[in-house]
Amino acid sequence: MTRPQRQAAVIVARCVVAAVMLLYGFWTFMADQELCEGTGPDVDAQIAACTRQIGSGRRHGHDLAIEHYNRGIAWKAKGDLDRAIADYDRVLRLDPKYGHAHFERGVA
């Protein structure tokens, strides 16, 4: 194999690795989004997924408010009302007209 062929092979390999990393990151982000939106029996997994979504920096405004809202629902299901209320407070700072968050905060 000539030097230009080796260089080309290295470039191709790096591109493949980068593409796999991007796809894996996208897949895990989408899996977390689905888990965060869910209402399954594993609220700890839901809380963890929502926390990763919130910390990802990919959500802003109303979309970020939804992640906090979903996590608040999970905290409430777990019985941790202080954390639920804290998340609902964050929702209302991000999106003051989010009616469901007003309701859920009142219930909590």
pLDDT per residue over 13-66, tens digit each? 565 554 445 444 544 656 677 788 876 678 999 999 999 999 999 889 999 999
Distance CA 65, CA 98 (A): 8
Has residue 94 got a pLDDT over 50? yes
12-50 b/e with 16+ CB inside 10 Å = b?
A: eeeeeeeeeeeeeeeeeeeebbebbbeeeeebeebbbbb
pTM: 0.73
Domain 3-107 in CATH 3.40.640.10:
no
State the chain's maximal CA–CA distance in angstroms. 71
Helix (H, G, I), strand (E, B) or coil at 61: helix
CB contact at 8 A, 62 and 95: yes
> Tokens in use for 70?
């979903």
61 Cβ contact partners less than 8 Å away, ≥ 6 residues apart: 94, 95
